[in-house]
Structure 1
Amino acid sequence: MFRILILLAIGIGVGMLLRGRSCVKATKWGIQATVCLLLFVFGISIGSNRDLIDNLYRFGWQALVIACLGVVGSIVAARAAQRIFFKKGGKL
């Protein structure tokens, strides 16, 4: 866990030092490619798990409920933050 946090801190420091350079702009493409690759590998691991595929119906509706509640909770929290922090007049 600490290794991950240390790598994150080092990455933040390097990002601050390289701010505004063209190599930092290229990382946007790299991040998108990495996320797509991770999702693909995650899909392969799910597809190769026979128990999970056999019980997909049972797990699927639970995942749908959790996802929907997560979206609704995020919308409610964003709306509350908007009302609290961005009142009329533009002052915090």
Structure 2
Amino acid sequence: MIYIFHMIDKPNQAALRQQMRPEHKAYLAQMSDRIAFAGPLTDEQGQMVGSLLAIDFESRDDAQQWLNQEPFTQAGIYGEVRIDGFMNLWPQKMGFPPQK
């Protein structure tokens, strides 16, 4: 099942987020064949305020275990985290640029 990770940063995490970004991206890359989509959440000015990930896992426990080891999580960047199961019932047409 695909699980949606909706994670909101604690205030003033931009510098730490930037510092941890290479580790975060490397950790995500290990799951590249299971990621439906992933990216930052932004405010009206385009500043990062969190992350939204959609990743296929066998169970919610597996999803939670993966998140527990995620570098942004371990660095304490997120103030709010929610994991929900997701059933995609609509063909994607918008918001996904063509792969290069």
Give the TM-score, by structure 1 length: 0.26
Greater strand proportion:
2
Give the TM-score, by structure 2 length: 0.24
Instruction: Specify which structure has the bigger relative contact order, considering alpha-carbon pairs within 8 angstroms and separated by 6 or more residues.
Output: 2
Bigger radius of gyration: 1
